[in-house]
A and B are shown apart, each in its own frame.
Chain A
Amino acid sequence: MALIEGIFEPGLVVTTVDWVLNWSRKRSIFPMTFGIACCAIEMMATGAARFDLDRFGAGAFRATPRQADLMIVAGTVTFKMAERLRRLWEQMAEPRFVIAMGACAISGGPYHLHAYHVVKGVDQVVPVDVYVPGCPPRPEALIEGLMRLQDKIGTRTIAKKCEV
């Protein structure tokens, strides 16, 4: 859990504080460079000049997971890569998010039938927030995925959840 979550009792109205925190978190997401395969090229194209990801505040790709809060898993995850992926995800500080980009990261993609070394979906290794389909997804699709993630971040709250 992140540092300032669940510190107020439920029922306390924290909307403006929530709004400010969520606004600042979603308008400056730092993705981690985790391009594995072909989708990485479309991720690079999204960060390049035409589909500029920086106008969403998410253009500062950090190489180290310690400074990143978004891991875009772009490409096929193999068994050999899976333990490194898990380790990198664990090194990210909370709040952290994962976008599964491309068919391979969602469910194994074109390799789901006969491959013996492919993990059928990265959600077997890390919890995924947004799935972006495509093979590879167009840069516009990745940007839409990022905007869905921004909506998801907007629903977070620092109040404790009600005990039912």
Chain B
Amino acid sequence: MKEIERQYRHPPDLYQEGEIASDIRTEELTLNMGPQHPSTHGVLRVVLQTDGELVLKATPYIGYLHRCAEKIAEKVSYRQFTPYTDRLDYLAAMNNNLGFALAVEKLGGIEVPARAEYLRVIFGELNRIASHLVATGCYGLDMGAFTPFVYCFREREYILDLFEAACGARLTYSYITIGGVREDLPEGWIGRCRAFLDYLEPKIVEYNNLLSYNHIFINRSGNVGVCSRELALAYGLTGSCLRGSGVEWDLRKATPYCRYNEFDFDIPVGRGEKGTVGDCWDRYFVRIQEMVQSVRIIRQALDKLTDGPVQAKVPRVVKLPPGEIYYEVENPRGQLGFHLVSEGGASPYRLKIRGPSFCNLSILPVVARNCLLADISAFLGSLDVVMGEVDR
């Protein structure tokens, strides 16, 4: 009997050693998962070679959502590209806008007013909470738990109400633009935001009681999909996937941008509480703890919010001097990077987008080997990939 079968076998009185029919001819089955599948988090196709319930090899195929963002960037102007950045990681649109705006501003030497920077932090962190709520809810859904999904989406709707009041959109905002943010907050927004943060904190405790410390959930995600520290770094994992493997690396602390050095927050790291360091539970729990830290940051930013303009004086047609920059920001899913090459025109000469989920997904064929079929869903859910930024 194979070692992994030994771990999962029935109690001894049900059948005995040697009773497994080793004289039956077995075959490997090639199973296709996706691109339309309820738990592949988008249009991802994974071809599995299975021996019964055991997955021997998993090969991902991507590109089903390749929308040519990099080619489009060469044809449209800088301001016109901001809505396309929304649609890269559509669950964290504010953070994508921020990354692009910062890359353009650093290359062009554009100074952003203080109020705009604090607003950027507030909206970026709110979007981080919203994105982690979707990740948590969908991870529960992948495991077969429907309740966390509706709970998380209920909280997310309150965040989307706040976004809608500020900028009019629910999902793809284009609110953080080159030079600042698009417009100032409406009346009473800050009070509503504070009320929401007070409402959210006990809810996170509720999620822990409902899902995180649930025995079935721990059995399905603890010790599953273990990525060691070296493996995670070697394959370019970033974000909660890297922190879940025990690496204390967060761009907001390492190379602070947008006044993040003024805030006091911790970096949650996976400690292997329910299994091994770097298993699915660690990655998932890092996200829960990041939500708590984001609430802390938003509270501090609301206190520090100064008065002033929210937009720098940037010309209508933004022209950057010739040069090149590679700028990364810490998105909910990892480090989103923009390699911007400018030749002095109104559009970029080349814009390469480094999607965090692209690098996070590359570890799938390495880790999803000799595991059970159900572990594939668990592993994909814990990686939290969004195909918009894998395929761009």
Contacts and interface: CB of A to CB of B under 8 A. Distances in A.
Verify whether A and B have any Cβ pair under 8 Å. yes
B314 to A, nearest CB: 22
Nearest to B71: A114
B63 to A, nearest CB: 5
A41 B68 contact: no
B67 A42 contact: no
Interface in B135-188: 149-150, 153-154, 156-157, 160, 170-172
B46 to A, nearest CB: 14
Contacts of B90: 37-38, 41
B387 A44 contact: no
B123 interface: no
B72 A115 contact: yes
A49 B170 contact: no
B36 A88 contact: yes
B170 A81 contact: no
A81 B35 contact: yes
Nearest to B65: A37
A63 B36 CA distance: 8
B73 to A, nearest CB: 9
Contacts of A81: 35, 43, 64-65
A147 interface: no
B91 interface: yes
A88 B64 CA distance: 15
B66 A80 contact: yes
Contacts of B35: 81, 84
Contacts of B38: 33, 61, 63
A38 B195 CA distance: 28
B71 A49 contact: no
A61 B71 CA distance: 35
A84 B154 CA distance: 33
Contacts of B284: none
B277 interface: no
A111 B67 contact: yes
Contact of B43 (A36, A38, A118): A36
A16 B156 CA distance: 44
A37 B153 CA distance: 18
B75 interface: yes
B9 interface: no
B118 interface: no
B75 A114 contact: yes
A17 interface: no
B76 interface: yes
Main secondary structure of the interface of A (DSSP, over half): loop
B192 interface: no
A63 B37 contact: yes
B36 A117 contact: no
A42 B93 CA distance: 14
Contact of B150 (A49, A113, A115): A49
Interface in B316-373: none
Nearest to A81: B64
B170 A42 contact: yes
Interface string B30-46: 00000111100011000
B108 interface: no
Contact of B83 (A32, A34, A88, A110): A110
Interface string B83-99: 11001001100000000
B67 A78 contact: yes
Contact of A78 (B42, B66, B71): B66
B153 A45 contact: yes
A35 interface: yes
A40 B66 contact: no
Contacts of A118: 67-68
B387 A80 contact: no
B25 to A, nearest CB: 30
B64 A78 contact: yes
A63 B43 CA distance: 13
A93 interface: no
Nearest to B88: A38
B66 A45 contact: no
Contacts of A37: 42, 65, 67, 87, 90, 387-388
A135 B75 CA distance: 21
Contacts of B247: none
Given A37-B67, A42-B171, A48-B157, 7 more contacts: A36-B64, A45-B157, A49-B157, A113-B75, A114-B76, A115-B67, A118-B67
Interface of B: 35-38, 42-43, 63-68, 71-72, 75-76, 83-84, 87, 90-91, 134, 149-150, 153-154, 156-157, 160, 170-172, 387-388
15 contacts: A37-B42, A38-B171, A41-B90, A41-B171, A45-B156, A48-B150, A80-B64, A81-B64, A84-B36, A110-B84, A113-B75, A114-B72, A115-B72, A117-B68, A138-B170
Can you list the 6 inter-chain pairs with the closest CB atoms, starting with the nearest?
A48-B153, A38-B90, A115-B68, A63-B38, A81-B64, A114-B75
